[in-house]
Amino acid sequence: MGADAVSGIGRIIRTDDDVAEGAAWLAAREPRFVPVLAQTAPLPLRLRPDGFGGLLDVIISQQVSVASAAAIRARMQEAGLMTAPAVIGAGDAGLRAAGLSRPKARYALILAQADLDYAGLYALPDAEVMARLTALTGIGPWTAQVYTMFCMGRADVFPPGDLALQVAAQALFDLPLRPKPEALAEMAEDWSPWRSVAARALFAYYRILKNREGLG
């Protein structure tokens, strides 16, 4: 269905063409994105698998570097611990042996035991998806937003608490200070209904800044 609006839900990103459509809209809406898109186009699709494994993967990525998350993910996959039954069977000790911190092992077990209706989330608007996900211990706004953006393909979701997005927005918009989540969320309202594409652009711009300036 591409990025056609689902009834009561909004745009869905499924293909590179959907991302390109959102990028063109974003460039017309906010000219300061134009040079960024010129450097980063085509923006990556960045869609990930959904369901338990996809949400567990986002939990693994919480508050660690991309490299650290990749290493832990590889160990979890090698140990066959990306399904709910396997996580329950491994228990806390098995999950920690695979590289999860004590809190993340607890979150993984809570998620595995929650029996969340992942398929049913697709029928819900973004705000209700967020509410369902954040009701689970270990899933905060960032985790829910990233899952909804990249595992469900929702086009109008933005994680303002992400440090990389804050750094990129500060540089792009020449802000004196790194914007706090509330301020960045307010800025992002102007990028609706393609806030997920704006996030992709800012993530890509952050990588350029990191390479150019040695940002951590």
What are the phi and psi torsion angles at 121 (to 5°)? -60, -30
Q: From CA 140, how far away is CA 158, in angstroms rounded?
A: 14
Task: Name residue 204's amino acid.
Answer: A
* pLDDT of the chain, 216 residues: tens digit per residue: 344 555 568 899 999 999 999 999 999 999 999 999 999 879 999 999 999 999 999 999 998 988 999 999 999 999 999 999 999 999 999 999 999 999 999 999 999 999 899 999 999 999 999 999 999 999 999 999 999 999 999 999 999 999 999 999 999 999 999 999 999 999 999 999 999 999 999 999 999 998 876 554
**What are the residue ranges of helices labelled H in 30-154?**
33-40, 51-61, 66-78, 84-97, 102-114, 118-121, 126-134, 141-146
pTM of the model: 0.92
Q: Is the peptide bond before 31 cis (omega within 30 degrees of 0)?
A: no
Q: From CA 46, how far away is CA 198, in angstroms rounded?
A: 13
Q: From CA 166, how far away is CA 186, in angstroms rounded?
A: 12
- Are residues 140 and 170 in contact, defined by beta-carbon separation less than 8 angstroms? no
Three-state SS at 10: strand
Residues counted in the chain: 216
Q: From CA 23, how far away is CA 5, in angstroms rounded?
A: 17
Task: Name residue 205's amino acid.
Answer: Y
Q: Which residue has the tokens 């974003």?
A: 26
Confidence (pLDDT) at 8: 64
